Amino acid sequence: MKIAVAGTGYVGLVTGVCLASKGHKVTCVDVDENKVKKMQRGESPIYEPGLPELMKESMENLIFTTDYKSAYQDADVIFIGVGTPEKYDGSANLTYVFQVAKQIAQTAEKHCVVVLKSTVPIGTNDKIESYIHNKQVNDVKIYVASNPEFLSQGTAVHDTLHASRIVIGVTEEYPADVLKQVYENFDAPKLVVERRSAEMIKYASNDFLALKISYINEIANLCETVGADIEEVTAGMGFDERIGHRFLKSGIGYGGSCFPKDTKALNWFANFNDNELRTIKAAIEVNENQKFKLVKKAKKYYNDFLFLNVAILGCTFKPGTDDLREAPSLVNIPILMEDGAYIRVWDPVGQENFKKCFPEKIQYCSCIEDAIAGADLCLILTEWGEVKEFDIKKYEELMKHPIVLDGRNCYNLSDFANTRITYDSIGRRTVNPDLYIEK
Ligand code: UDX
């Protein structure tokens, strides 16, 4: 079977490489020539553990090109994995999806199945189908199927090869049979559903997880007020299989390329259809406030941030990625800088991307020790393994005022018992709360 994949971001490239690793001949198309040249050399343009290795192993089945015509004209299946970024009003921008649809309509020379992997509002597959049928040049049958992607950055290869489920949304039998064949060697439950249901499954899943996080963050905030410990609370809740332990980690909110965008898109779409989703609206609001939690906490210790040395540990939206999209660092660091703080940032892989956003006034450090040396305050924004395994005594030894504000609950409270470190985390009591209060 000849497969084409439009777009080589996280979704497109990981899909293309995983399909190639299962023996399919895959042509990946992207408009960015430099990116394509890089991939032709066998290099991955994105940071994703395991992807470069799998790509190298599967190169004999992979073609990378900017020439969409050669890719689409005789393809049996064309996956669309281009971005659907957030528009100013929160709705999804479908420009790139429609651009690819137009190219397919102009070039397809044989029957094929167009598969939408990109996250799109409910009803988009229908629109793409009509659009292609209206614009197609050759008299061939072009089917459209929805096959949403559930991969997480950092574990994208594993999530694709061992998917929790493969959702196939169709209106006819033929595209379902073709997709079942494509995924024949993937060990995952395959669900064939209505196309609109498939589109909804994607949004409903992501938004449910976002809701779960916002819910637990609100409970964590209440724990702080009433003297309960969120880590104990979630451990106790998670044993109930109906709740589960996962996605109950409280912190400074969710970021990344999906949850913020998909909650806003579904909220917009629901409002547009006169069907307000109050839970999702609340999840969005809670998350927006939660991102500022550490800066608010910092105000307990300092009246203002003028001339303070602040160490930032982690700037990506989560560990295992160099992605900064919607990361709490992007909103917290500007506040501190605007108030006159000197910022030192450490992040094992996100630093280079962060430098592009903040080329000036920030000192970038190659180790945690350099970032915290002489600091008045340390903010942990991402739970990198290096932070979790860091010898906490060094905060006391190296910082001028060892006040550690942990937005990801990286340590046990008991670790700080015999120290002179103020340790203030999310949803738990503060250890040594009064040592360095400036009043
Ligand atoms: C997410 C979904 O998990 C994935 O299924 C979908 O296809 C794309 O969106 P991703 O954005 O890569 O994946 O990361 P994920 O691991 O889900 O984390 C998203 C954000 O939620 C991160 O900022 C993370 O720190 C936060 N999070 C996650 C929490 O705050 N608490 C948790 O318990 C879990």
The ligand 1 atom at the shortest distance from the C-alpha of residue 248 is 33
| Cα–ligand 1 centroid distance for 61 (angstroms) | 31
Nearest CA to ligand 1 atom 10: 152
Quick one: 177 and 34 in the same domain?
yes
Mutating to test ligand 1, I would choose from 254, 315, 382 the residue with most ligand atoms within 8 A of its C-beta, which is 254
**Closest-CA residue to 305 (of 347, 329, 333):** 333
Question: Average pLDDT for residues 102-116, to the nearest whole number?
Answer: 98
| Cα–ligand 1 centroid distance for 147 (angstroms) | 20
| Cα–ligand 1 centroid distance for 81 (angstroms) | 19
| Token pair listed for 60 | 């004999």
Residue 31 lies in a domain: yes
Write down the catalytic residue from 28, 112, 258, 315. Answer: 258
Residue 335 lies in a domain: yes
Q: Which among 193, 215, 236 is the end of a domain? A: 193
Query: Can you tell me whether residue 35 is helix, strand or coil?
Result: helix
Residue 234 lies in a domain: no
Quick one: 172 and 309 in the same domain?
no
Q: Which residues does a 6 A CB cutoff place in the pocket of ligand 1?
A: 149-153, 206, 209, 213, 247-249, 251, 254-256, 258-259, 317-318
Its ipTM equals 0.98
The ligand 1 atom at the shortest distance from the C-alpha of residue 154 is 12
The CATH number linked to 137 is 3.40.50.720
Its pTM stands at 0.95
CA angle at residue 44 from 261 to 253, to 5 degrees? 30
The ligand 1 atom at the shortest distance from the C-alpha of residue 253 is 30
Residue 377 has pLDDT above 90, yes or no: yes
Residue 163 lies in a domain: yes
Q: How far is CA 163 from the centre of its chain?
A: 17
Mutating to test ligand 1, I would choose from 152, 231, 248, 410 the residue with most ligand atoms within 8 A of its C-beta, which is 152
Nearest CA to ligand 1 atom 11: 256
What's the pLDDT score for residue 275?
A: 95
What is the tens place of the pLDDT at every residue in 6-44? Answer: 999 999 999 999 999 999 999 999 999 999 999 999 999
The ligand 1 atom at the shortest distance from the C-alpha of residue 149 is 7
Residue 433 lies in a domain: no
| Cα–ligand 1 centroid distance for 112 (angstroms) | 34
Give the C-alpha distances (Å, rounded to integers) separating 356 from 14, 84, 228, 353, 383.
Answer: 25, 23, 41, 5, 22
| Cα–ligand 1 centroid distance for 329 (angstroms) | 16
The ligand 1 atom at the shortest distance from the C-alpha of residue 247 is 33
Q: Which among 144, 175, 193 is the end of a domain? A: 193
Distance CA 312, CA 305 (A): 14
Mean pLDDT score of the chain:
96
What's the pLDDT score for residue 40?
A: 96
Check: CB of residue 358 under 8 Å from CB of residue 381: no
Quick one: 17 and 132 in the same domain?
yes
Quote the domain boundaries for residue 399.
293-424
| Cα–ligand 1 centroid distance for 77 (angstroms) | 29
**Closest-CA residue to 330 (of 377, 386, 292, 361):** 292
Give the total number of structural domains in the chain.
2
Residue 436 has pLDDT above 90, yes or no: no
Check: CB of residue 160 under 8 Å from CB of residue 22: no
What's the pLDDT score for residue 439?
A: 57
Quick one: 297 and 185 in the same domain?
no
Residue 237 lies in a domain: no
Quick one: 304 and 181 in the same domain?
no
Check: CB of residue 144 under 8 Å from CB of residue 136: no
What is the tens place of the pLDDT at every residue in 180-190? Answer: 999 999 999 99
Is 258 assigned a catalytic role? yes
Distance CA 191, CA 183 (A): 12
